[in-house]
Amino acid sequence: MNIHIIGGGAVGLFFAAQWCEKHAVTLWTRTEQQAEMISRGGIRVLENHMENIYPVNSKKIESLYVEGDLVVVAVKQYHMKEVLPLLQNAAAQSVLFLQNGMSHLDFLEQVPHPHLYAASVEHGLAKIDGRTIQVNGRNKTNIGSLRSGTAGIIDQLQTGSFRFDWNENSYHMLIEKMAANAIINPLTALLKVKNGEIAENARFRAIAKDLSREFASVFSYKTAEDTFQSVLSICTKTADNESSMLKDMKAGNLTEIDAIVGVLLKTAEKNHRSVPAFQLLYNMIKGKENTPEFMSK
C-alpha cells in the first residue's frame, strides 16, 4: 500500500519503521529538520539492546495533496485541529486514527474519506530523538471501524512482529483505552511514578479502584471491577514504562488531559454523574501543565 503517516512522535516513527519494508511509506513531520534527519539517516529503533535502521521517506507537512491508500493520523489530539484541513486534502481510500481519548471522534463528520478506522496502541514506546525510538515492550494494536471499515485491513497492516487485532466494537475499544489512560496517565504524572507503581503501591491501587468505580458509572458498559482489573493488568505489563502524560509533564509540554479526562468529565456531566476524584485529578494536571519547574522540584 501507499501509506502516509502524519506525525513524527514515537507512534508515527514506530509504525513507519514497521511498515516500510512491505509498503511505500511517507512520514509527515511538523519540522523540516526532523524530516531531513529521517530521510537522511532512516528511523532508528532500539529494542532488546539492538539497533535497527529503517529507511523511510519523510517530509515536512505543509500541504498534503497526495494520493495514497491509507493516511494514518498519529498526532496528539490537541494538534487535530491544525491537521484537519490537510487531512481533508489527502486523496485516500482509508484514514486510520491513532489518538488517545475520544475527542477526535468529534471531527469525524468533517473527514470525507470512504473508510475510517481507529486503533489503540499497546506497544511500550519512548521517543529518544527526532529519528530514534526505544521499544520497551511489544504487544499489539487494536483496530476497529468508525466508518465502513473491514477486518481485512489487518492482513495488510500486520507483519510477523507487528500484530493487529480486529475489534468489532470500536467505540468500546476506545473507551477501554480511555479508561486505562484516564486512570494511569494523570496519576503517574502527578505522583511521578512509572506505571508499575500504581499496581504495586497499596495506596495507589486503592485510588485506581476508586477511579475505576467513577469511570464505570459514566461508561457503564463495563463493571468497575473489570475496569480496575484491566488497569492493573496494563500497569503490570508496562511496569517500567513512563506514561505519555508523565513524559509530557517532564518535558513541559501540553498533555492529553482534555482528550481523556476532559471528555470523561463532559460525558459525566451530560449523564448527571458525579466524578469528583477525576475532577480533582483534572484540575491538578491543568493547573500544573506547562510548568516544567514542577518536574525539576
Q: Which of 261, 38, 26 is nearest to 132 (CA)?
A: 38
* Candidate segments 144-152, 229-237, 258-266, 281-289, binder of a second copy by CB under 8 A: 281-289
Cα(90)–Cα(201) distance, integer angstroms: 47
State the chain's maximal CA–CA distance in angstroms.
54
Phi, psi (5° rounding) for residue 207? -65, -45
Binding to a second copy (CB under 8 A) within 203-242 occurs at 203-204, 206-207, 210, 214
CB of 222 to a second copy, least distance (A): 20
* Candidate segments 126-134, 165-173, 233-241, 280-288, binder of a second copy by CB under 8 A: 280-288
The answer to whether residue 276 forms part of the interface with a second copy (CB under 8 A) is: yes
Q: Which is nearer to a second copy, 43 or 183 (CB)?
A: 183
Site string for a second copy, 165-204 (x = CB under 8 A): -------------------------xxx--------xxxx
DSSP annotation of 243: P
The answer to whether residue 272 forms part of the interface with a second copy (CB under 8 A) is: no
Distance of CA 292 to the CA centre of its chain: 22
Place of cell 481507529: 118
The answer to whether residue 281 forms part of the interface with a second copy (CB under 8 A) is: yes
Other beta carbons within 10 angstroms of residue 78's beta carbon come to 16
Which residues are CB-neighbours of 68 under 8 A, at least 6 positions away?
1, 2, 3, 4, 26, 90, 91, 92
Q: What is the binding site for a second copy (CB under 8 A)?
A: 190-192, 201-204, 206-207, 210, 214, 276-277, 279-281, 283-284, 286-288, 294-295, 297
